[in-house]
Amino acid sequence: MNRSQPQHFRNRLLTPIQYVKGVGPRLAKLFEKKGIQTVEDGLYFLPRCYEDRRHLQKISELKAGKKETGFGEILLSGTAFYQNRKRRVFEAVVGDGSGTLTLKWFHGNEHYLKERFKKGRRLIFSGEVRWFNYQKEIHHPDVEIVEGEIEEDYLNFKRIVPIYSETEGLYQRTLRRLMKTIVDGYSDELSSPIPEEIVERQDLIDFSEAFRRVHFPPEGESLEKLNLQRSDGHRRIIFDEFFFLELGLALKKKGVALETGISFRAEGALSQKLLNQLSFRLTRAQEKALAEIIEDMEKPHPMNRLIQGDVGSGKTIVAVLAGLRVVECGCQAAIMAPTEVLTEQHYLNIRRWVEPLGVRVALLTSNIKGSEREEIYDRIRRGEVQIVIGTHAVIQEQVEFYRLGLAIIDEQHKFGVVQRGLLKKKGGNPDVLVMTATPIPRTLAMTIYGDLDISLIDEMPPGRMPVETRVFPESARNRAYGIVEEEVKKGRQVFIVYPLVEESEKLDLRDATRMAEHLKKDVFPAFRIGLLHGRMKSDEKEAIMMAFKEGKIQILVATTVIEVGIDIPNASVMVVEHAERFGLSQLHQLRGRIGRGRYPSTCILLAQYRSSEEAKVRLQAMERTNDGFKIAEQDLELRGPGDFFGIRQSGLPDFRVAHILRDTPILIEARKEAFRLVQEDPDLVELSHLALKEALMRRWKGRLELAAIG
């Protein structure tokens, strides 16, 4: 569709905001800063909070310790100095005849404040009232300059007033006036064709009405509910967002179930052989996951399953056992992992496991080049290789499989949806098994993995010792070294990890390299120390990993290349430098590299600088628990879903209003309704569902195909 053609205004919601009466090109630019381009975007620009201006209180009635709203005239304003003139504070004293109150700004552009808060101006202010020197004051209040008579101003007074998020040059009154124009002029165009039956069952109000109420709440609305975004209007809008997401996922899931795939009915002789030669027995949780996988594989439809199991729970062997069943049926299995180091490790382990059974394994990374690479391609194409292990290189166009039966994606949170889709496309509807150690909170699992079946490995192999985690300040560095020394002397091995943030990649690399030198020369001259980072050539990396695995290296200084998957049971100490720079889930992943053997392990988080309050909370959470689920919940809470590990690239539609943590109960209801609807009408062919289908397509905008391939 060409947006510049006039007829597109047939859908009036797509009208550029600029053409709304009173907006124009200048304000349109400011709206754009807020991500608002069309009238529809404008409607979704909901108030960030609400103020009760139904009855304006006198200043003398405002209570300290509460968030209050008042009205008055500026009697006096200017800069005041405190602490021997070291501290400048801009102040405005407002009065209304009943009393006075001081508004204070401790930072901000003084020139601007002076211009805006001139003596004689009248304003509405709100914020938490405090007592100071027998005076009431509010720090950094929300303010609104009042012009004209408030008695006649029914938009800004005498009601519950919406407060929007402002941007420089676009303030409350203007925003409120324009939003009123938009809501009055366009809210009728909105539609959410959720079937009547569901609307009734869920007690939903009319969709357009929901927007009207959320922007300009009627008299009787509860201020508290509005501010918690729990009003009926909010609920209706949030339900709509969740419902269409879940409907898409439900259809996707149904769709996969309807596709034909290969039914793998293997006797399991190969996998039994492997089980017999293993030095351990599967845990009950591993057995259960494997049984679920086998059941899926036997069905004539492609499997689409996620194995979720905390770091070290033993997902790899389960995947390999599944792979062997496919091999037994004459097909191939591919395993894709996100880093070269991990891929190498898988290659070494899996080869050790399956080659004695006569199964041929190939490694494919981007570092294998030229004729060697061509030869591997060839062997894959001819089916001479049965298990292919690789990085992204596996999904390159040139890679053709003889018969791909099972696509396994390890540490799937590291991959985008698109890449997963590509691997799946390498075969005629292969089974797909994705694995993740990132424990996804239930709510998130319902959204990003909403179309997958989930197997949980919720048990650790026996004999694991829990990892003790301790946060050390820089001043305790020597104590940390003491622990390292003790453990190495006992025969254990140690990881020392450096963060590698993209912006300062070079710098950190230098840090890590220097650190390795320093440790070698000054701190542990008697120990064997190695360095591993992402910029090294793959054979170098391989050699270092091998040396570490064989115990030839005792202390490995590494960047986060070791973050996922690496398995060295003899390693019992990890020191994380600049721990404050890592996210919780990442720290948990890193920590998962130790405590994999029989030894009690210690993870030392060195917080280098005086960390922020937020960082402190984060690191303390690591001390408190080893439970990946709890950590993920906390991470999600601290960072919000957008930043949560890997979600951003998930390819799912964004929520404009809904918040998966806050709104979980609505999510659960919406999911239930969506899945029920698809159960009853899998292709949405009923007449009453046509509009639904259209709305769905519009919201998922072509992502429907990709987003849920898993």
Q: Which residues of the shown chain bind Mg ion in the complex (CB under 5 A)? A: 565
Q: Binds 587, which of ligand ADP, Mg ion, none (CB < 5 to 8 A, cut-off by type)?
A: none
Q: Which of 42, 233, 314, 710 binds ligand ADP (CB under 6 A)?
A: 314
| Contact pattern for ligand ADP over residues 540 through 579, marking x by CB under 6 A | -------------------------x-x-x----------
* Residue in 311, 336, 512, 576 binding ligand ADP, rule: CB under 6 A: 311
Q: Which residues contact 88 (CB under 8 A, 6 or more apart)?
A: 79, 80, 81, 110
Q: Are 279 and 309 in contact (CB under 8 A)?
A: no
Strand order in the sheet with 601-607: 467-473, 601-607, 571-576, 493-497, 555-558, 529-532
CB of 313 to ligand ADP, least distance (A): 4
How would DSSP label each residue in 115-157? HHS-TT-EEEEEEEEEEETTEEEEES-EEEEE-S-GGG-TTTS
- The reply to whether 309 sits near ligand ADP by the rule CB under 6 A is yes
Build a one-symbol-per-residue string for 410-449: x at contacts with ligand ADP by CB under 6 A, - elsewhere: ---------------------------x------------
Identify what 283 binds: ligand ADP, Mg ion, none; CB under 5 to 8 Å per kind.
ligand ADP
Shortest distance (Å) from residue 565 CB to ligand ADP: 6
From CA 340, how far away is CA 534, in angstroms rounded?
A: 9
C-alpha closest to that of 71 among 121, 110, 112: 121
- Interatomic CA distance for residues 439 and 566, integer angstroms: 18
Instruction: Supply φ then ψ for residue 633, to 5 degrees.
Output: -60, -45
Q: Which listed residue (227, 308, 313, 601) binds ligand ADP by CB under 6 A?
A: 313
- Sequence-separated (6 or more) residues with CB below 8 Å from residue 399: 364, 377, 380, 393, 426
Cβ atoms of residues 288 and 465 within 8 Å: no
- Token digits for 560? 């986060």
List beta partners, residue 66.
Answer: none
Out of Mg ion, ligand ADP, none, what residue 311 binds, judged by CB under 5 to 8 A for its kind, is ligand ADP
3-state SS, one letter per residue, for 368-431: CCHHHHHHHHHHHHHCCCCEEEECHHHHCCCCCCCCEEEEEECCHHHCCHHHHHHHHCCCCCCE
348 is a site residue for ligand ADP (CB under 6 A): no
- Is 278 in contact with 316 (CB distance < 8 Å)? no
Write the binding mask 195 to 214 for ligand ADP: x where contact by CB under 6 A, - elsewhere: --------------------
Interaction between residue 280 and ligand ADP (CB under 6 A): yes
Name which position in 17, 250, 289, 317 contacts ligand ADP (CB under 6 A). Answer: 317
Question: At 466, phi and psi to the nearest 5?
Answer: -65, 150
CB nearer to ligand ADP: pick between 329 and 456: 456
CB of 319 to Mg ion, least distance (A): 9
338 touches ligand ADP by CB under 6 A:
no
533 binds ligand ADP (CB under 6 A): no
Provide the mask over 37-66, with x wherever binding to ligand ADP is found by CB under 6 A and - wherever it is not.
------------------------------
Angle between helices 628-639 and 584-591 (to 10 degrees): 160
Residue 339 contact among Mg ion, ligand ADP, none, beta carbon within 5 to 8 Å by kind: none
Least separation in angstroms between residue 651's CB and ligand ADP is 24
Q: Which is nearer to Mg ion, 430 or 565 (CB)?
A: 565
Residue ranges that bind ligand ADP, judged by CB under 6 A: 280-283, 286, 309, 311-317, 437, 461, 565, 567, 569, 596
